[in-house]
Structure 1
Amino acid sequence: MNESWLFPLHEYQQRVAKIRAYMQERDISLLLIDQTEFLFYLTVFGISENMYRACLLPLTGDPVMVFRAMDQRAFSENSWISDIVTFHDWQDPLAILADTVRARGWESATLGIDFDSYCMTINRFQRLQAMLPQIQVKDFSGVLKQLRTRKIPQEIECIKQSAAANDQAIREVVTEMGVGKTERQAAEIIHRVLIRHGMDSNRCGIVTTGGGNSFLHANMQERPLEQGDILHLEVVSFKRGYSSKIMRSVIIGTASAAQQEIAQQLIAIQDKQLAAMKPGAVAKDIDALARNAVLKAGLRQDYASITGYTLGYYPKTTPRTSDFSHVFLPTSEWQLEAGMVFHMYLYAAGLAISETVLVTENGCERLTKIPRQLFTTA
């Protein structure tokens, strides 16, 4: 095993075997993989899409990766795939891809493409069909999304390390913040902690002032914090691309009795939700435990958002900051499985609580471990 590889070779071989089983079932002889998350799943190289790149996986034989020549060293250091085709920046990536298909005798293949891929634009799809007129195209949507949902121990370990760094970031923000400090200073503390704890250089999440029921994605402000302000922290860190998330609320100064009561209600409601997260549980039932209780308690008049979603690998270049492959909604019919990792969250009246959790054979394990409480700076 190459020391720079994230997983041993047999893990990638097993992934190839799983993908090929679906290809055979759907009568697909060649699969094109271009979405960044899926490329990483197979090749362990989450390369950006500044220029088009893709992996070609035949039903038999070695996969072939087509990408920019300038990325050859980085790819070779990280990926187990040895059959590569590179292009110069003035060449047409799609033309190189089509040439590669023809050179290997695949021009009459049944080609599988994930029709949900954000990398396969209509223009690219039409051009590829024109370049390879004998190719028959079939939809491969949903397969790779499902295969990457259950995490292996090495992936879980990365998420655990990320969660531990998030916990420490919360601790240090609570210690250092106070009246007169700014949200930007809180973000600076978080960045400092995450880098010190070996996390990837990437975004640190959302730092803003809490209020009402629509603050989760608000902007970071420059104004000095005042007594009684709610500092909302959603800390997000990445270890080799694998992410954890946590939300905590920090009252600048002391919390009111009403705020403490709301926080305790949210925590108690989510405690019951997490306790029910076991293999075989239906997602909509898990969602109902939180959603219905929040509404019944009068903490919100409505609850339009999800109560949790998938966590795992997030490439720096993806347009998605959260993975909604599996979400918790009243309409979610899917079942929980051991090895799934989720970000579960509740929020109301400017306060939020969330955890990164792992579904195990015995139930739910909380990977973020900082105390479940409303924090204050007093």
Structure 2
Amino acid sequence: MSAHPLYTADRLDRAAKAAAAAGLDALLVGPGADLRFLTGYDALPLERLTCLVLPASRDAFLVVPALERPAALASPAGDLGIEIVGWGESEDPYALIAARLPHTVAAVAVDNHMWAEKAAAFREALPEARQELAGQVLGALRTRKVPAEVEALRRAGAAIDRVHSRMGEWLRAGRSEREVGRDIAAAILDEGHVRTDFVIVGSGPNSASPHHELSDRVVEHGDPVVVDIGGTTADGYCSDSTRTYVVGEPSPEFLRLYEVLLAAQCAQTDAVRPGLTSGELDAVGRDPITAAGFGAHFIHRTGHGIGLDTHEEPYIVSGSPVVLEPGMAFSVEPGIYLEGKYGARIEDIVVCGEHGGERLNLTSRELRVLP
């Protein structure tokens, strides 16, 4: 077993059993969150092939470029007891893998984010094997977090909360979104992340654009400002939290909009429990927003799963039949956006427990007015 509390060998065992149950002979997993989930190895996505080969009925092995083998061995993968095979520059790693698999392989699955050229090379190397996507197997394993993963997400949530608690240091009238965003990006690293993944600072009319990019617009007195930020921790697990601020005095119209949004988001986080569908949770917030006359301005889903990826299953979207289960972690982030005027969003990461939900972002959700 691995010495790392998150990346343990039982993940490989569970994945192999799930692959067999799905009628697959092997999983082929390249760099990305799926590989890190299974081995702890945060591999570089290179033109050279790195691939975990996980047969349903044989021992797994990890194929890496020879020059990357020391890094693979130094990662948690080196403690899993699996063979780490280095291949040289003149070798064909696809042929190497094909030769090590049983001749009877009839179905393999590649990870959902494998580069197309690599998936095509596997199709050529294993011409008799049906090729499918590994997401059907790995998605279910990754969606239901174990306690160690929840704790990793809890640490990530606390780290991004510390950044939001410092917003008054940077966000004020006379500074551009880009200047504010630069300070926030540095603070994300300072407060416990190893990578800044995104910084959204949408001021004034830009707050009505949910995925606004940083611009040179200067924050003005009276502006609502949507700040959506996230990063990745050393464990590999991600943070994501949005708060809405106002620089100076908010207008009565904006205060009414925010009151509706806050009530809806609080109702949704309070409603999280096993057995509720994702679509039903979406409706808990969408229905009162619609009743208040803002339905046409809530233009995105309620939320997304989070873990080793910022966006992963489950997705909290209108009409979804996906049933919430203990261990699922996802964002709850309703928003109201009046195009050309202003907008607001509140986002917390919530984990579904045995009897209800736990919010992992604990900074105040009340509208914060900055001088």
Q: Could you say if the C-alpha distance between residues 272 and 142 of structure 1 is closer, same or farther in structure 2, counting changes exceeding 3 Å?
A: same
Q: Does 1:338 align with 2:326?
A: yes
Question: 1:165–1:193: 8 Å Cα contact kept in structure 2?
Answer: no
Cα distance, 1:167–1:344 mapped onto 2, change above 3 Å: same
Partners of 1:302 and 1:194 lie apart in 2 by 30
- Identify if the C-alpha distance between structure 1 residues 219 and 66 changes in structure 2 by more than 3 Å, giving closer, same or farther: same
Number of the residue aligned with 1:41 = 37
Tell me, in whole angstroms, the C-alpha distance in 1 between the residues paired with 2:164 and 2:133: 44
CA contact (8 A) 1:172 1:189 kept: no
Q: Displacement of 1:63 after TM fit?
A: 0.8
Q: Secondary structure at the match of 1:235?
A: strand
C-alpha deviation, 1:148, in angstroms:
0.4
Contact 1:210 1:351 in 2 (8 A): no
Alignment partners' CA distance in 2, 1:347 and 1:110: 47
Whether the 8 Å CA contact 1:358–1:366 is kept in 2: the answer is yes
With over 3 angstroms needed to count, the CA separation of the structure-2 counterparts of 1:86 and 1:286, relative to structure 1, is same
**1:307/1:344 contact within 8 Å kept:** yes
Partner of 1:366: 359
Q: What's the offset of the Cα at 1:306?
A: 0.5
Distance 2:130 2:193 in 1: 43
Q: 1:18 corresponds to which letter in structure 2?
A: R
Cα offset, 1:145, TM superposition: 0.9
Cα deviation, residue 111, structure 1: 3.4
Name the aligned partner's letter for residue 104 of structure 2. S
Q: 1:340: how far off?
A: 1.0
1:324 offset after TM fit, Å? Answer: 4.1
How many Å apart are 1:227 and its aligned residue?
A: 0.8
* Deviation by residue 1:40-76 (Cα, 9 ceiling, x = unmatched): 1211113132223211112233211112222222211
1: CA distance between counterparts of 2:114 and 2:136? 15
Summarize the alignment of residues 1-378 of structure 1 with structure 2, pairs less than 5 Å apart.
Answer: 5-7=4-6, 9=8, 12-13=9-10, 15-34=11-30, 36-51=32-47, 52-78=49-75, 79=77, 80-88=80-88, 90-91=89-90, 95-102=92-99, 104=100, 106-114=102-110, 117-121=112-116, 123-137=117-131, 140-211=134-205, 214-239=208-233, 240-314=235-309, 322-348=310-336, 349=338, 350-378=343-371
Deviation at 1:363, TM superposition (A): 0.6
Q: Structure 1 pair 21/82, CA: closer, same or farther in 2 (3 Å)?
A: closer
In 2 relative to 1, CA 166–23 (structure 1 residues): closer, same or farther, beyond 3 Å?
A: closer
User: What TM-score comes out, normalization by structure 1 length?
Assistant: 0.87
5+ unaligned residues in a row in structure 2: which ranges?
Answer: none
Deviation at 1:187, TM superposition (A): 1.9
User: Contact 1:64 / 1:81 at 8 angstroms: preserved in 2?
Assistant: no
Change (3 A) 1:97 1:64: farther
Compared with structure 1, are the counterparts of its residues 281 and 249 closer, same or farther at alpha carbon in structure 2 (3 Å cutoff)?
Answer: same
> In the alignment, is the contact (CA less than 8 A) between 2:64 and 2:86 conserved in 1?
yes
Task: Identify if the C-alpha distance between structure 1 residues 223 and 66 changes in structure 2 by more than 3 Å, giving closer, same or farther.
Answer: same
Q: Which amino acid aligns with 1:355?
A: D
CA contact (8 A) 2:73 2:84 kept: no
3-state DSSP class of the match of 2:240?
strand
Q: CA deviation at 1:29?
A: 2.7
How much has 1:107 moved relative to structure 2? 3.3
Larger mean Cα displacement after TM superposition, 132-141 or 46-55: 132-141
Report % sequence identity.
23
Deviation at 1:293?
1.5
SS at match of 1:368: coil
CA deviation string 1:232-269 (max 9, x = no partner): 20021222221121111111112122222211211111
- Per-residue CA deviations over 1:24-52 (Å, capped at 9, x if unaligned) read 22333322223622111211113132223
Distance in structure 2 (CA, Å) of the matches to 1:340 and 1:141: 16
Query: For residue 241 of structure 1, what is the amino acid of its counterpart?
Result: G
Deviations for 1:201-250, whole angstroms, at most 9, x for unmatched residues?
Answer: 23243222253785111121123321112222002122222112111111
Secondary structure of 1:7's counterpart equals: coil
Amino acid at match of 2:364: P
RMSD: 2.3
Whole-Å Cα distance in 2 between the matches of residues 200 and 365 of structure 1? 25
3-state SS of 1:242 partner: coil
Give distance in 1, aligned partners of 2:350 and 2:256: 24
SS in 1 for 2:352: strand
Return the alpha-carbon distance in structure 2 between the equivalents of residues 127 and 311 of structure 1.
Answer: 31
2-structure distance, mates of 1:126, 1:215? 38
Contact 1:279–1:337 (CA under 8 A) maintained in structure 2: yes
In the aligned structure 2, how far is the partner of 1:53 from the partner of 1:197? Answer: 32
Q: Distance in 1 between matches of 2:179 and 2:18?
A: 49
